């Protein structure tokens, strides 16, 4: 299980490839499921020019690790990866990557969904949007 909070842009597909190449369980996993979250240039009727992702260092890593461990207890998965961006981002930047490797797709999809949904409700991140005119804190996530 790997979790990473990074303050600079990352390419989710490179992260996926790098992680999968390093997996030692070749031949055991038949399914890789992933979710990639990307910053839109619109939200709740406003044009979004940029966004700042604030987080609580220490607590963030603790909860991302706990969420991975919970997924591994609930489903027979082989490995999981979470990469989450922090700091200044602009539209089309990747915000988050969650990925799961498992023997079969059912547990891979279910566990990957669990990672992103739990992360959104429990990991201490906050979004501050820069709009065309002004700025605002995002008060709630959009429904899954």
* Residues forming the site for other proteins (CB under 8 A): 37, 53-56, 58-59, 62, 84, 95-96, 116, 119-128, 137-141
The CA angle 10-12-18, to the nearest 5 degrees, is 100
CB of 82 to other proteins, least distance (A): 10
CA distances from 37 to 12, 91, 122 (A): 9, 11, 16
Q: Which is nearer to other proteins, 17 or 135 (CB)?
A: 135
Q: Which is nearer to other proteins, 19 or 85 (CB)?
A: 85
Q: Which is nearer to other proteins, 19 or 55 (CB)?
A: 55
d(CA 82, CA 66): 11
């Amino acid at each position: 299980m790997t979790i990473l909070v990074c303050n600079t842009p990352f390419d989710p597909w490179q992260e996926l490839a790098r992680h999968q190449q390093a997996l030692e369980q070749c031949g055991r996993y038949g399914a890789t499921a992933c979710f990639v979250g990307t910053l839109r240039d619109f939200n709740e009727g406003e044009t979004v020019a940029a966004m700042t992702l604030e987080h609580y260092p220490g607590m963030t890593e603790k909860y991302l690790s706990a969420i991975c461990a919970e997924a591994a207890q609930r489903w027979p998965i082989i490995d999981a990866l979470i990469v989450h961006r922090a700091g200044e981002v602009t539209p089309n930047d990747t915000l988050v990557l969650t990925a799961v490797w498992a023997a079969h797709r059912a547990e891979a999809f279910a566990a990957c969904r669990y990672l992103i949904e739990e992360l959104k409700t429990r990991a201490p991140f906050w979004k501050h949007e820069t709009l065309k005119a002004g700025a605002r804190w995002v008060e709630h996530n959009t429904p899954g």
